[in-house]
């Protein structure tokens, strides 16, 4: 039964909107380069933007994914639908790929470890793509040690950094390796992957998928290519790259330049062309003149046996400009104080990278797909600082 929405500014009833426009006949003259979909960015570093993706972008990216990541049995295998279809990973890797290959999709109503665990045990999928927080949540679920996941043939992680410790623990307990991939809504989304049944490097998001070029350029101008092993901004070119942002010419001009998409991500390539993500440009903390990448701090915190989740952010500091604060979620039944965790970090990190402030929380803010929203934590701290002034 249709329930109308409560009238308020900026809120519209979908059926009312549909009723305002005539039922135009279905177009049959659609070209590959025509606009197929507007998929919105996650908004983890700023305002969400509508990414214009063509039929060619989407079709080609499914083919790239099929060539590089999965060797699923067409018409026979099943895949977990943890990514929602409004997210580019769910749209391409789950929905569109499953249409092409006639895979059965197990639709998960909410990306919560308890629900995912129950549905995985019940439906026994061969393919298991999800975000890092789901892997962490499953590994720490009290019923997980009793679960048999031997039917899973392939695990894929994307949308956020995955701690090396999580990969190793999952492989040890489940028997299946997690393949890390990389991409953005602007690349439909896949641009890199550790090739399935090929050479996998733990901590790397792999090599470019077919017909995709990747460069590492300087952070200041974006014009100078950097030497192998040196960190800079990742820029991409390929047939899966979007034409730009819907009704946002300024943002399009900033991110899409001379045929290259400027990702805003910082990374480096090794001697074999495998890409390693360092962090987001907008997440970088500058403390006392030092560049600090919060992802490195997150990795160290995730390795602590008592910590389930962690997220480091930069907060205002009158002396250093910014300093590091770590938000920590402990594993059930564990206890830890600031002195213990500070001592642990001092053993693992350079002195200027060690968090100066710690806060223990019950959970971290996450997006609809379970991605930790570092921006929300940082904005919360900025509001606190403004209130103190």
Maximum separation of any 2 CA atoms in the chain, in Å? 68
State the DSSP code for 304. S
- Average of pLDDT values for 242-255? 94
Q: In what order do the strands lie in the sheet with 178-183?
A: 104-107, 78-81, 127-130, 154-157, 178-183, 190-193, 207-208
217 vs 162: which has the higher pLDDT: 217
Structure tokens at 242: 């979007």
Structure tokens at 264: 């805003």
Structure tokens at 185: 């809504």
Q: Which helix (H) or strand (E) element contains residue 117?
A: helix 113-123
- Which residues, listed in sequence order, are joined to residue 156 by a DSSP beta bridge? 129, 179
- Average of pLDDT values for 132-158? 90
Helix pair 164-174, 132-139: axis angle to 10 deg: 50
CA distance 107 to 161: 24
Within a 13 Å sphere around the CA of 321, how many CA atoms are in the beta-carbon half? 10
**CA–CA distances in Å: residue 93 to residues 27, 84, 193, 217:** 26, 11, 12, 29
Q: So what's the pLDDT on residue 388?
A: 66
- Average of pLDDT values for 250-256? 94
Mapped onto helix, strand or coil, the DSSP state of residue 113 is: helix
Q: So what's the pLDDT on residue 42?
A: 67
Q: What is the pLDDT of residues 261-293, one digit of tens each?
A: 999 899 999 999 999 988 777 787 878 767 788
Average pLDDT, rounded, for the chain: 88
| Full-model pTM | 0.79
Q: So what's the pLDDT on residue 330?
A: 94
Q: So what's the pLDDT on residue 54?
A: 97
Q: Which helix (H) or strand (E) element contains residue 129?
A: strand 127-130
Within a 13 Å sphere around the CA of 205, how many CA atoms are in the beta-carbon half? 27
Evaluate if residue 143 carries a pLDDT over 60: yes
Evaluate if residue 192 carries a pLDDT over 80: yes
CA distance 102 to 221: 46
State the DSSP code for 94. I
If we measure between CA atoms, which residue out of 119, 143, 142, 122 comes closest to residue 130? Answer: 119
Confidence of residue 234 (pLDDT cuts 50, 70, 90): very high
Q: So what's the pLDDT on residue 5?
A: 59
Mapped onto helix, strand or coil, the DSSP state of residue 50 is: strand
Evaluate if residue 233 carries a pLDDT over 70: yes
Confidence of residue 338 (pLDDT cuts 50, 70, 90): very high
Q: So what's the pLDDT on residue 44?
A: 53
Q: Which residues contact 105 (CB under 8 A, 6 or more apart)?
A: 78, 79, 81, 94, 95, 98
User: Would you call 165 exposed, middle or buried from its count of C-beta atoms within 10 A (0-12, 13-18, 19+)?
Assistant: middle
Mapped onto helix, strand or coil, the DSSP state of residue 343 is: helix
Q: What is the pLDDT of residues 160-176, one digit of tens each?
A: 777 778 888 898 888 88
CA distance 129 to 94: 8
Evaluate if residue 46 carries a pLDDT over 80: no
**Domains of the chain (ranges plus CATH)?**
31-280 (3.40.50.12780), 284-388 (3.30.300.30)
CA distance 100 to 24: 28
CA distance 56 to 239: 8
If we measure between CA atoms, which residue out of 182, 161, 163 comes closest to residue 171? Answer: 163
């Amino acid at each position: 039964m249709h329930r109308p929405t409560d009238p308020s500014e900026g809120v519209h009833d979908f059926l009312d909107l549909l009723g305002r426009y005539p039922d135009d006949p279905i177009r049959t003259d659609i070209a590959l380069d025509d606009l197929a979909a507007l998929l919105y960015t996650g908004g983890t570093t700023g305002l969400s933007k509508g990414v214009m993706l063509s039929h060619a972008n989407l079709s080609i990216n499914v083919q790239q994914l099929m060539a590089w990541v999965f060797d699923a049995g067409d018409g026979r295998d099943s895949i977990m639908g943890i990514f929602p279809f409004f997210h580019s990973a769910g749209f391409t890797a789950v929905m569109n790929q499953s249409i092409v290959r006639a895979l059965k999709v197990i639709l998960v109503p909410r990306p919560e470890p308890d629900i995912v665990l129950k549905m995985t045990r019940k439906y026994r999928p061969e393919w298991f793509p999800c975000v890092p927080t789901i892997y962490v949540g499953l590994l720490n679920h009290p019923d997980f040690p009793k679960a048999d996941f031997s039917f899973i043939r392939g695990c894929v992680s994307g949308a956020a950094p995955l701690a090396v410790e999580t990969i190793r623990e999952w492989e040890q307990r489940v028997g299946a390796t997690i393949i890390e991939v990389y991409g953005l809504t602007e690349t439909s989304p896949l641009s890199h992957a550790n090739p399935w049944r090929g050479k996998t490097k733990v901590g790397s998001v792999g090599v470019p998928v077919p017909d995709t070029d990747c460069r590492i350029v300087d952070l200041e101008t974006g014009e100078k290519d950097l030497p192998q092993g040196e960190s800079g901004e990742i820029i991409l070119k390929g047939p899966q790259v979007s034409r730009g942002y819907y009704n946002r010419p300024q943002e399009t001009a900033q991110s899409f330049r001379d045929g290259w998409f400027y990702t805003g991500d910082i990374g480096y390539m090794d001697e074999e062309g495998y890409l390693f993500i360092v962090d987001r440009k907008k997440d970088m903390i500058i403390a006392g003149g030092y560049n600090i990448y919060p992802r490195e701090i997150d990795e160290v915190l995730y390795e602590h046996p008592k910590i389930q989740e962690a997220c480091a952010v930069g907060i205002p500091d009158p002396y250093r400009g910014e300093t590091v604060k770590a938000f920590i979620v402990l594993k059930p039944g564990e206890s830890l104080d600031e002195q213990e965790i500070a001592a642990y970090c001092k053993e693992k990190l350079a002195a200027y990278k060690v968090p100066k402030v710690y806060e223990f929380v019950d959970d971290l803010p996450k997006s609809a797909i379970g991605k930790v929203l570092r921006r929300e934590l940082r904005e919360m701290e900025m509001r606190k600082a403004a209130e103190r002034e």
